[in-house]
Chains A and B, each alone.
Chain A
C-alpha cells in the first residue's frame, strides 16, 4: 500500500493526466479545462459585468469537476498525505536557501504557505498577487495549463502552442527575476 502515499513517477502520472481528456469527452463531449470554472464562479456569484452575463448553469459540469478536484486533493493530500518532504535536486535546494526558503518543509514551503505567512501582510499580498495574475492571464489567454498545454496541444491547436510558450516565458521571468526580488523584501 506504499504507492498510496509515495510520489508517482512522471511516466505514471503523465499518462493518467492525459487520459482526463478522452475521459471528459466520453462522459459528455466536454473539453478538459479548469480555469473556466473561475469565470463560472464569478457569474454564479452574481457579477453584473457583461463578461459574466451568460448561462453558467449550462457549464455547471465544470464546477462539479473542480469540486471533485478538491475532494481528490483531500484524499491524496490529507488522508493519504506523503509524510516525506518533496525530494528536490540539491542544486534547487541550494538556490532556495539563498533566497531564504527551506527545501524540506513538506509539500509546500512554509515560508510562503503556512498560516503564519498567510496571516502576514506581505505573505498574503504575495499569494493574492500570484492568484490575480493567474486568473487575469488565464481568461485573457482563454485557458490555462490544462485547457491549452494538455488539451489544446494534444488537439494540435496553434493558439494553445502560443499560450503554452507564453506560460513558459512568464514562469521563467517569475522564477528567475520576480520571485528573488519579492523574497528579498521580506
Chain B
C-alpha cells in the first residue's frame, strides 16, 4: 500500500484489534479514496457548486444528492432482500439515530450556516486537503475546534 499509515493504527493493530492486522484497514482506505476521487470529479467539493445550489441556479447538486440517496436506498433494499451478510457474517444494519427533534433541527441549521459559508462539508474538507488547498487546513482546524466546543457545552443545549 502506498498510503501513509499513522503510528496509532499500528499499535492498535498489534494489541487490541481481534483481526490482528493492519490489513483490516485497507478496505476502508480504498473506500475512502474512491469517495475522495468522486467528491473532486463530481465537483461537490467545489465552493462554486455549493453556492450555485443555494441560489437554485443549477440542478447538478440536487441531481447528485438525489441519485445518491436513491442508489443507496435501492441497494439496501436489494441486499436485504437477497439476505446478504457483511464480511463478518452479521446481517446488514444501519444504526438508528438517537431520538430527539431539537438537536437535528438546530444542529442542522448551525451546520448549514457553516456549509453555506465555506462551501465544504466534512468529506470535501478532507478531499480538498488532499488536493493541496491551504484553506482546507483552516476549515478542518475550525471544525475540530467546533467539535470540541460542542463537547464542552452539550449539556446546556436542547437535544
Chain A residues proximal to chain B, CB less than 8 Å:
7-31, 34-35, 37-39, 41-42, 44, 47, 49-52, 57, 60-78, 81, 86, 88-89, 91-92, 95-96, 103, 107-109, 112-115, 117-118, 124, 126-146, 148-157, 159-160, 162-176, 178-179, 182
Expressed in whole angstroms, the Cα–Cα distance for A169 and B112 within the complex equals: 7
Name the prevailing secondary structure of the A interface residues: helix
Which 8 pairs from chain A and chain B are nearest by CB? A166-B108, A170-B112, A68-B32, A72-B36, A131-B142, A77-B131, A174-B116, A73-B130
Name the prevailing secondary structure of the B interface residues: helix
Which residues of the other chain, B, contact A69 by a CB distance below 8 angstroms? 32-33, 35-36, 39, 123, 126-127, 130
Which residues of the other chain, B, contact A64 by a CB distance below 8 angstroms? 9, 25, 28-29, 32
Which residues of the other chain, B, contact A21 by a CB distance below 8 angstroms? 72, 75-76
Expressed in whole angstroms, the Cα–Cα distance for A153 and B65 within the complex equals: 10
Which residues of the other chain, B, contact A86 by a CB distance below 8 angstroms? 43, 46, 48-49
Expressed in whole angstroms, the Cα–Cα distance for A31 and B72 within the complex equals: 12
Interface size on B, residues (CB 8 A): 126
Expressed in whole angstroms, the Cα–Cα distance for A145 and B118 within the complex equals: 14
A78/B37 contact (C-beta < 8 A), A17-B64, A165-B108 known: no
Expressed in whole angstroms, the Cα–Cα distance for A130 and B71 within the complex equals: 30
A71 touches B33 (CB 8 A): yes
Which residues of the other chain, A, contact B70 by a CB distance below 8 angstroms? 14-15, 18, 154
